[in-house]
Structure 1
Amino acid sequence: MLHDPSRRAFVRTAAVSAAALATLGRATPALARAPRGQARAPRGQGANDRMQLAIIGFGKRANELHGGFLDDDGIEIIAVADVAAARAIEGTRLVNERRKAQVCRVVASWRDIIANPAIDAVIVATPDHWHAEPAIAAALAGKHVYCEKPLSLTIAEGRAIADAARKSQICFQTGSQQRSEFDYNFVRAAEAVRNGRIGKIKRITIGVGESPVACDLPAESCPADIDWDGWLGQAPMRPFNHELCPIGMHGHYPKWRNYREYANGGLADMGAHHFDIAQWALGMDESGPVTIIPPTGTPTNSVKSGLRFIYANQTEMIHGGPTDCTFIGSEGTIECSRGHVRAYLGEDPKAVDDPKILEPVRGNEVALPRNSSHIADFLRAIREGRSPICTAETGHRTATICQLCNIGYDIGQPLNWDPVTERFTGAQAAQANALTTRAVRKHA
């Protein structure tokens, strides 16, 4: 049985996490900004000792991820928690089957994972509206965190997560794995942009989905083994529906991604990947655009695309495009996706490819990391006491792009954004700033 640490220490940590989340509903910072520092190594462990991990939320994504962690012989997953008992049981079974030993156990609540001092790191693979509370609690408890993308539901949540990670000096990896995987297509593109291979960047187009809609799914009977109130968490109370919380273990991505109560739509689901690459290529991992310009005359019930972001250097980024990421510079264009990367002179996509644009770095050019995997980078960063490739701050800034996009569509007027204070200024500022946070339902 997982041993029970000092309950007083856990209650203090959980209380701070819950208070931070509740504070977000009042649109004020949850934590003071802490100075940047390197991530520290696992508590009380040497570089070669085994780390103990736990999984919070075992759906399709955690099922895909857990094997990558177990590929490392220095890792043990010792606990799984999920609001659906069947999923926690299946996750535990899969870990034990892989290890051929009873190393992993089901725990009743994610809070029990935070309370256990034997656990060095957590994998947060819950729906988006459940990222902030366990991620903040884990960081404040001194545990390293691998959190699925998009990092947060709101801009205020993202800031609270990033500040908690920075204050605690834990290693925090946001799961925007295009920085590490897919044959380095995105790495090569970002590297070429950074090194001026296509001149000054004029425009970037990002081909991702739409904004979320209000959830209108019908009520269904909730199975006895699902903690529905626990699934809802901070979100408004509503009846159970299996499209939000599938019954038992499942092999698909549930539809909660489409609904604004729990996520930020297809725009953020893949935007957390593709906008992330744009931010990375521009060297804006800790900043962002200064102006948001939604398309004019767009009915609120229509397909939403065409919103423009303007950065301080006048680079323009557009929601909508022919492929995942297209970088258009003064001298050439780079198109990249998970399946291809190509570059050519000029802007005509019918132009002949110019392989020189994507050649390996030369001399003093910027060389971006080539990780064997996103998970491997996270684990190596813990052991080396360094930051991983996609920190909480980076994940927050990318999630902010997605959230700014939705706010821009909601208001339908140009907006001025200060990426330093993370507040809107000028016309419509009060209305827009109110959308950087949400009311938090009181929950267990």
Structure 2
Amino acid sequence: RGRYSQGGSIARQAAKFGEMIAVCDVDDRHTAEFNQAFGERLHMYRDYRELLSQERPQVVTIGTPDHWHVPIAIAALRAGSDVYCEKPLTLTIDEGKQICQVVKETGRVFQVGTQQRSQDNSRFLQAIAMVHSGRLGKNVRAAVAIGGGPSCPPIEGAAAPDDLDWNMWLGPAQEAEYSEQRRMEFRWFYQYSGGKMTDWGAHHIDIAQWALGHDQSGPIKVHGQGQLPEIVPPQFDWAAFFSGRQQLPSAFNTAMNFSIEVEYADGAQMSVHDNYERPEDNIQFGNGILFEGDAGRIFVNRGKLEGRPIDALSEADQRELDEIVVELYKGKQPGNHMGNFFECRQDGSLPISDVYTHHRTMTTCHLCNIALMLGRELRWDPQQQRFADDEAANQLLSRESRPGFTA
């Protein structure tokens, strides 16, 4: 019947900081299960618009499939709620521009669920501190591996369960027949997500771009190669898909493997891979970030932080890095990501995973996907947030929403 593990998880985390009053899900079974966990005292809804109108909540957490993140978040912000939304926040680059503007207009607190910025023993912040302190030397380059997506045979449609509002699940996406596979594995459909590029890119590209000093800007050039599932026609009209005039095949359709180069205006470079291999240096990893400069090399993922000069740090060196980590965390001690959100609600400061830097992260993720779709080099203007003299690519900045579901 599908999963709601992440949406339920962040809601339960938020409940530690306040009173839970209502739950909304298009699946009646999910709302009933969640309500039961709270003593069956919550008000239950299928339509988030009714919840916002009738409950007027102070805080909204969002853990839906990706294509619903921005429409619900914008509605919540305009209803006066502070928002904690799961990653990846956006389905398109223009969605990111739109929600940044709404956050600015409403003045609400907005945190994105990229918890690597807060948790995992601060090892990602330690890695960034190593780069920013100059301990890796100059000309630091990042290599990111995030895994690839699967393929599958064509998916047959079926009747949706009676206690599921399938039309509402689809929301702004194109009409499609129900299937349990489509619903449970939505990340592998460009209709609802961006594949591994946005799923794990929202984490690792985020950290790499922050370390390289471009978390508030973005690249100027993106190029590379990759492979989509065979069911996607080689000359598929992506502009027609983005405008709603053409459907993708009913099967997994996001990138299975890829190797992409990302370049920034100051010469900084990052590469993004499904799997990174460099046999001559005995380097191979499928998930993590490798930072290399002319004075050192370190590797970080959720399980470890290793390399030199990490292995040779003195106590004084570590104290200096710890001070940089606090600076990176906006003068606070890193800790619970949800806790940071509620703390920022109290003191009015910007959350550690704010909407503006996350939009820049997601822009880079989307640029990588667009480069794969079009199969050529792209030149990007991070200030204008448009492709330079490339109208074909600019047609992929936004998507047409189904009537009645426009944010």
Normalised TM-score (structure 1): 0.77
1:419-434 paired onto structure 2 within 5 Å: 419-426=382-389, 429-434=390-395
Matching residue of 1:49: none
Q: CA deviation at 1:304?
A: 3.0
Which of 219, 233, 238 does residue 171 from structure 2 map onto? 233
Which of 123, 128, 140 does residue 185 from structure 1 map onto? 123
Matching residue of 2:262: 309
Matching residue of 2:396: 435
Q: Is the 8 A contact 1:407 1:432 kept in 2?
A: yes
Which of 110, 113, 118 does residue 51 from structure 2 map onto? 113
Letter in 1 for 2:261: R
Partner Cα distance (1:355, 1:310) in 2: 30
Q: CA deviation at 1:215?
A: 9.8
Deviations 1:280-317 (A, max 9, x none): 22232221111001139x78858432110001111111
Q: 1:261 to 1:132 in 2, by over 3 A?
A: same
Which of 401, 412, 419 does residue 375 from structure 2 map onto? 412
Q: CA deviation at 1:216?
A: 4.3
Matching residue of 1:344: 308
Matching residue of 1:165: 103
1:32-431 paired onto structure 2 within 5 Å: 59-72=4-17, 75-94=18-37, 96-97=38-39, 103-116=41-54, 118-210=56-148, 216-245=154-183, 254-295=184-225, 301=230, 303-320=256-273, 321=276, 322=285, 323-344=287-308, 353-356=311-314, 359-361=318-320, 365=324, 367-369=327-329, 370-426=333-389, 429-431=390-392
Segments of 5+ residues of structure 1 without an aligned counterpart are: 1-56, 246-253, 346-351
Q: Is the 8 A contact 1:173 1:389 kept in 2?
A: yes
Deviations 1:80-109 (A, max 9, x none): 101111111111222x14xxxx54221231
Partner Cα distance (2:105, 2:381) in 1: 23
Matching residue of 1:249: none
Q: Secondary structure at the match of 1:279?
A: helix
Partner Cα distance (1:139, 1:214) in 2: 38
Normalised TM-score (structure 2): 0.83
Provide the identity percentage.
Answer: 33
Partner Cα distance (2:149, 2:378) in 1: 18
Q: 1:362 to 1:128 in 2, by over 3 A?
A: closer
Q: 1:215 to 1:227 in 2, by over 3 A?
A: farther
Q: Is the 8 A contact 1:213 1:265 kept in 2?
A: no
Number of aligned residue pairs: 364
Letter in 2 for 1:380: E
Partner Cα distance (1:438, 1:213) in 2: 24
Partner Cα distance (1:378, 1:157) in 2: 22
Partner Cα distance (2:108, 2:262) in 1: 32
Q: Secondary structure at the match of 1:220?
A: coil
Partner Cα distance (1:85, 1:434) in 2: 38
Q: Secondary structure at the match of 1:338?
A: coil
Q: CA deviation at 1:410?
A: 1.1
Q: Secondary structure at the match of 1:294?
A: strand
Q: 1:413 to 1:363 in 2, by over 3 A?
A: closer
Q: 1:328 to 1:378 in 2, by over 3 A?
A: same
Q: Is the 8 A contact 1:214 1:260 kept in 2?
A: no
Letter in 1 for 2:352: I
Segments of 5+ residues of structure 2 without an aligned counterpart are: 231-254, 277-284
Q: CA deviation at 1:119?
A: 0.8
Q: CA deviation at 1:364?
A: 7.8
Q: Is the 8 A contact 2:56 2:81 kept in 1?
A: no
